[in-house]
C-alpha cells in the first residue's frame, strides 16, 4: 500500500499536476497581491474581467459552454478570467495542426475508393442529406462500399481481432485510449512480436493520460525494443495548456488495409470480462472490410503524422478499391475532435441529424448521458413526433458523480415520453445508435461533453447494411436484461440535487 502511494505521489503525472497547479497559484497570488496594493491595478483587473465577459458572450460557443464560463468569471472574478484565458480554447499546437492538415490533404488525394454524397442521391435523398452533414465537416470523410460485421460483446470482437492480427502480412495499426497489461493486451502483444519478426510493420498509438495508471512510464520505449513503432498521444507535461484536455479516445485496429475494427472496446481485461470491475461489462463494436477500410487508414495516419511530427509516405497503406466486396450498404468512417482540425462537432452533428429525421424509432446505448440543450431537444422532439426513443445506460456506475449527472438527465426525458433503461447486470460501455432499420452509428462517441466537444473520436456511419438490423436486435436483447426507469425513480434526492447544482453548471468545461 505504501509502495503504491509512494509511486503515485512521485509519478510524473502527479508532479506535472502539482506544477501546473503551482503555476496557476503563483499567477493568482501575484494578481491578488498587486490588487491589494494598487487601486489602479484592481481597476485594470475589473476591466479585463469585463472584456473577458464580453468576449464570452459574443463568442461562437454552445450556449451551455458560454453560460459555464460566464458563471466561472462572475463567481471567481479574478481566478475565473485567468482560467478562461488559459483554458477556453479547444485548439491544437500550431505545428501539430499543420502536420495533420497536410496529412489529410495528401490522403484525400491518394484515396481512390471514396465517393461523395451524390452516390446516395439515387437510393435515398434523405440519406444523401445525412451523409452531406458529415462530409461537410470531417475533412477526410467519404462514402464507401464494404462488408461489415456487428459484435454484441467485447469477447467476440477480441476473438475476430486476434484472428485478423495473426493473418497480417503487411502492416498493423493500433490506436487506443487505454492499453493495460493483462490477458487481452498480452495476447495481442505476443502476436505483434511474432509479426514484427516476420517483417510486418506494426504501429501503435496510445493515449498518455488514458494509460497513466495502466502502463509504465515510457512504455513506448518497451514496444520500440520489440520492433514495434509506438507513440504516446499528447504526453502529460507540467505546462498550463488546454491541449491536455484533448485526449485520443479512439479505438481503431487496422490490418493490411483489408479489415478495420472500432467500437467501445479498449485493450484491457474488463472489456472482455476477464477482470470484473462493475459487474458484467457490456460492450460492442464493428468490423468492416473492403473500400471502407480506407476511411480508418486516413484517420490513423493523420493522427500518426500529427504525433510523430514529420511528413510521411502514405502510398503503401491506403487500400485499393474493391467495389465487388459489398453487402449493399454504404459506409462513412468519420472522426471528430477539437477545432481547428474539425471545424464543427462531427459526432454530435451526425447523431442529431439521425434523431431529427427519424420516423419510427431511435435506440441508443451509452455509458454516460450528460447532454446539452441541442441533444435534449432533439430526443424530446423525436418523441413528440411519435418516434419510439429508447436509451440504455449502466445499472452499475463506474464513477459515482458522473452517474448522478447522467441521472439528472432522466426526469426531463422521461417526462417527455423517452424510455430509459439501466443495464441490470453491470456496466454498459457500448456506444451505439440505430434508427428506422436504415441507419446505425457505432464507435467511440459517448453522449457527454468530453466526447462531443473535447476528445478525438471515431465512428462508423452505416446505411442500408444488414448490420443495422443486427445492431437493432442486439439492443432489444440488451433491453430485456435492463430495468426501465420510472418517473418516480428518476426523481433526484437532496444529495443528487446538490451535486447537479454544483457540477451541472460547469459540466461543459470538464
Q: Are residues 255 and 131 in the same domain?
A: yes
Q: Are residues 72 and 106 in the same domain?
A: no
Q: Are residues 299 and 184 in the same domain?
A: yes
Q: Are residues 83 and 102 in the same domain?
A: no
Q: Report the alpha-carbon distance of residue 166 to residue 377 in Å, rounded.
A: 46
Q: Are residues 391 and 306 in the same domain?
A: no
Q: Are residues 297 and 410 in the same domain?
A: no
393 inside domain: yes
Write the CATH number for 196: 3.30.870.10
Q: Which three cell numbers stand for residue 13?
A: 503525472
Q: Are residues 323 and 447 in the same domain?
A: no
Q: How much is the pTM?
A: 0.90
Q: Are residues 366 and 256 in the same domain?
A: no
**Torsion angle in degrees (nearest 10) through CA of 429, 356, 358, 403:** 20
Contact 205, 233 (CB under 8 A): yes
pLDDT (tens, 9 = 90+) of the chain, 510 residues, equals 556 555 555 555 666 666 666 666 666 666 666 656 666 666 766 777 788 788 877 777 777 777 777 777 777 766 777 777 766 665 667 788 888 888 999 999 999 889 988 888 877 888 999 999 999 999 899 999 999 999 999 999 999 999 999 999 999 999 999 999 999 999 999 999 999 999 999 999 999 989 988 998 889 999 999 999 999 998 865 555 555 678 999 999 999 999 999 999 999 999 999 999 899 999 999 999 999 999 999 999 999 999 886 666 788 899 888 777 889 899 999 999 988 888 889 999 999 999 999 999 999 999 999 998 899 999 999 999 999 999 999 999 888 888 888 999 999 999 999 999 999 999 999 999 999 999 999 999 999 988 998 899 999 999 999 999 999 999 999 999 999 999 999 998 888 778 777 776 666 666
115 inside domain: yes
Number of domains in the chain: 3
364 inside domain: yes
Give the DSSP H/E element, type plus range, for residue 332: strand 330-336
340 inside domain: no
Question: How far, in Å, are 249, 308, 320, 427 from residue 399 at the CA level?
Answer: 18, 33, 44, 11
Choosing from 87, 112, 144, the residue where a domain stops is 87
Q: Which domain range does residue 328 map to? A: 94-335
Choosing from 335, 367, 392, the residue where a domain stops is 335
Q: Report the alpha-carbon distance of residue 487 to residue 414 in Å, rounded.
A: 6
* Secondary structure (H, E, C), 438-502: CEEEEECCCECHHHHHHCEEEEEEEECCHHHHHHHHHHHHHHHCEEECCHHHHCCCHHHHHHHHH
Q: Are residues 315 and 416 in the same domain?
A: no
307 inside domain: yes
SS3 250: coil
Choosing from 335, 369, 399, the residue where a domain stops is 335
Q: Are residues 113 and 247 in the same domain?
A: yes
Amino acid at each position: 500500500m505504501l509502495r503504491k502511494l509512494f509511486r503515485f505521489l512521485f509519478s510524473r503525472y502527479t508532479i506535472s499536476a502539482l506544477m501546473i497547479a503551482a503555476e496557476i497559484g503563483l499567477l493568482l497570488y501575484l494578481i491578488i497581491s498587486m490588487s491589494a496594493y494598487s487601486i489602479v491595478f484592481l481597476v485594470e483587473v475589473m476591466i479585463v474581467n469585463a472584456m473577458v465577459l464580453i468576449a464570452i458572450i459574443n463568442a461562437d460557443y454552445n450556449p451551455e459552454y458560454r453560460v459555464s464560463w460566464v458563471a466561472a468569471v462572475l463567481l471567481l472574478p479574478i481566478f475565473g478570467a485567468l482560467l478562461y484565458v488559459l483554458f477556453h480554447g479547444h485548439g491544437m499546437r500550431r505545428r501539430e495542426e499543420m502536420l495533420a492538415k497536410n496529412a489529410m490533404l495528401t490522403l484525400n488525394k491518394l484515396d481512390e475508393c471514396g465517393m461523395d454524397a451524390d452516390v446516395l442521391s439515387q437510393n435515398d435523398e434523405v440519406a444523401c442529406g445525412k451523409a452531406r452533414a458529415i462530409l461537410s465537416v470531417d475533412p477526410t470523410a467519404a462514402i464507401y462500399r464494404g462488408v461489415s460485421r456487428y459484435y454484441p460483446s467485447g469477447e467476440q470482437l477480441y476473438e475476430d481481432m486476434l484472428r485478423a492480427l495473426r493473418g497480417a502480412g503487411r502492416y498493423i495499426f493500433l490506436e487506443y485510449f487505454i492499453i493495460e497489461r493483462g490477458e487481452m493486451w498480452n495476447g495481442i502483444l505476443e502476436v505483434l512480436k511474432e509479426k514484427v519478426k516476420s517483417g510486418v510493420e506494426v504501429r501503435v498509438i496510445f493515449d498518455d493520460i488514458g494509460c497513466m495508471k495502466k502502463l509504465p512510464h515510457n512504455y513506448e520505449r518497451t514496444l520500440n525494443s520489440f520492433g514495434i513503432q509506438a507513440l504516446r498521444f499528447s504526453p502529460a507535461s507540467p505546462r498550463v495548456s488546454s491541449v491536455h484536455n484533448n485526449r485520443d479516445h479512439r479505438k481503431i485496429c487496422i490490418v493490411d488495409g483489408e479489415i478495420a475494427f472500432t467500437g467501445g472496446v479498449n485493450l484491457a481485461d474488463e472489456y472482455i470480462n476477464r477482470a470484473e470491475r462493475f459487474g458484467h461489462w457490456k460492450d460492442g463494436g464493428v468490423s468492416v472490410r473492403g473500400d471502407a477500410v480506407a476511411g480508418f487508414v486516413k484517420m490513423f495516419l493523420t493522427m500518426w503524422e500529427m504525433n510523430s511530427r514529420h511528413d510521411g509516405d502514405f502510398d503503401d497503406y491506403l487500400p485499393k478499391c474493391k467495389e465487388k466486396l459489398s453487402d449493399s450498404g454504404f459506409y462513412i468512417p468519420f472522426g471528430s475532435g477539437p477545432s481547428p482540425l474539425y471545424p464543427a462537432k462531427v459526432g454530435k452533428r451526425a447523431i442529431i441529424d439521425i434523431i431529427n429525421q427519424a420516423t419510427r424509432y431511435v435506440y441508443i446505448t451509452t455509458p454516460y448521458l450528460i447532454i446539452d440543450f441541442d441533444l435534449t431537444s432533439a430526443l424530446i422532439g423525436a418523441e413528440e413526433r411519435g418516434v419510439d426513443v429508447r436509451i440504455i445506460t449502466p445499472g452499475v456506475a463506474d464513477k459515482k458523480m458522473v452517474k448522478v449527472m447522467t441521472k439528472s438527465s432522466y426526469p426531463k426525458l422521461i417526462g417527455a415520453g423517452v424510455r430509459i433503461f439501466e443495464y441490470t447486470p453491470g456496466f454498459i460501455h457500448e456506444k451505439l445508435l440505430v434508427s428506422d432499420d436504415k441507419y446505425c452509428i457505432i464507435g467511440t462517441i459517448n453522449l457527454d461533453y468530453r466526447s462531443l466537444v473535447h476528445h478525438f473520436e471515431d465512428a462508423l456511419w452505416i446505411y442500408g447494411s444488414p448490420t443495422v438490423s443486427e445492431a437493432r436486435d442486439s439492443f432489444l436483447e440488451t433491453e430485456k436484461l435492463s430495468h426501465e426507469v420510472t418517473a418516480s425513480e428518476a426523481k433526484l434526492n437532496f444529495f443528487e440535487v446538490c451535486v447537479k447544482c454544483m457540477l451541472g453548471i460547469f459540466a461543459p468545461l470538464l
